[in-house]
A = this chain, B = another copy of it.
Amino acid sequence: MTLSEFLMPTKEYTARRGPMDKIVLSSRVRLARNLFQLPFPAKAKKSVHLKILNEIKQAVQTIPDISSEGLIVSMDELSNNDKTVLVERHLISREHAKRGAGSGLAINKEENISLMINEEDHLRMQAIFPGSQVRNAWKKIDSIDTLLGKVLNYAFHPQYGYLTACPTNLGTGIRVSAMLHLPGLVLRDQINQIINAVNKIGLAVRGIYGEGSAALGNLFQASNQMTLGITEESIVSKLEKVINALIENEEEARRHLLAEKGQITLLNHIGRAYGILSNAYSIDSQEALNYLSLIRLGVDLGIFPHGDRSMVEELFLFIQKGHFQLFSKDSLSTPQQRDIARASLLREGILKFGTPRQVKTASSSEKGI
């Protein structure tokens, strides 16, 4: 299998489903590990990078998922666009995309396991699952960690736990996170209040472009802050509780929007998004993502006569720079050319959903609305 065949997303990829995936797009657990008595990547020479890369690559061969049908590469084997595609699929970090020889990547065919070699730490491994299933993601990556721990000599301190390049990861080296789609809370103007409440109990909720920036596409990431002096089990269960609370709040907000007489607020936002996406002749990826978020909400609530979720997932993925380039026959070298081509793709894609319309709900039919 060639690299571009590997990167080309399949129908199966955009059709993936998970528990509560109308609200929770994905659940991810990441572990940070380093090798005993070797300098962290930022302090290591090139020869040490290569030695570490080689050692971990060999260890990765013991993971059946990856050794049979997966991909193990050095970062210098990837083109810039390959790297952008991998970032857009949440398989590598933006930081790792900047690296070349001496750093590496391993992923399995289902793309739910990925290992970054010589990113900030010698090894960062993640399991990412569709929908709300942080516990399953944790079990998966924990099993990988156990396999690798048999062949790699991890830097582990009896008092501090796993040693990491940045002290914020010290101890368990775990980061548990979920990507949530919360347009209901945004439309009802309740999102900031919710974010503040969650932050107070020691977890972070951020717009996907990080703290302080507006949430792009109504997408938010909830994650743990602490990694030291607390068990993995308690981190996972604390995050599960917060995710469930966010789901309940978002569902409540969506019920309110549906129950409003005429569903005006909902139809006004979704209708305008539909109108712009189906008629614009130039659109950048951020604006497109914001409107697609509302299309996704409309599909979830049954407001579109024909649209389904995998159609939305495809558009979400394909409008992004790297994927867009992957599918373009012509090379679209300027942002202007991409904005025009993206608008063309969206005009065609969005019309298939049909015009938004008011939906009957249990409460609206009871009230005879």
Contacts and interface: CB of A to CB of B under 8 A. Distances in A.
A268 B340 CA distance: 9
Interface stretch (A20-28, A111-119, A277-285, A327-335): A277-285
B280 A271 contact: yes
A278 B280 contact: no
Interface residues on A, range: 20 to 34
A284 to B, nearest CB: 12
A276 interface: yes
A262 B340 contact: yes
Interface of A: 262, 264-265, 267-268, 271-272, 274-282, 340, 343, 355-356
B279 A272 contact: yes
Contact of A268 (B268, B275, B280): B280
A268 B265 CA distance: 25
Q: Which 3 A-B pairs have the closest CB atoms?
A: A275-B275, A275-B279, A271-B279
Contact of A282 (B268, B278, B282): B268
A278 B272 CA distance: 8
Nearest to A336: B264
Contact of A278 (B265, B267, B275, B340): B275
Contacts of A268: 280-282, 343
Given A271-B281, A275-B279, 7 more contacts: A264-B282, A272-B279, A272-B280, A275-B275, A275-B280, A276-B276, A279-B355
A364 to B, nearest CB: 15
A240 B274 CA distance: 44
7 contacts: A262-B340, A267-B281, A268-B281, A272-B276, A272-B279, A275-B277, A276-B276
A274 B262 CA distance: 23
A274 B281 CA distance: 12
A269 to B, nearest CB: 9
A182 to B, nearest CB: 22
A264 B340 contact: yes
A222 B356 CA distance: 42
Nearest to A277: B275
B356 A279 contact: yes
Nearest to A350: B275
A260 to B, nearest CB: 11
A281 B277 CA distance: 16
Contacts of A272: 275-276, 279-280
A306 to B, nearest CB: 16
A262 B356 CA distance: 29
Instruction: Pick from A264, A271, A280, A340 the residue with the most CB of B within 10 Å.
Output: A271
A277 B271 CA distance: 10
A355 B277 CA distance: 13
A335 to B, nearest CB: 13
A268 B336 CA distance: 13
A271 B343 CA distance: 11
Contacts of A278: 275
A268 B343 CA distance: 9
A223 B338 CA distance: 44
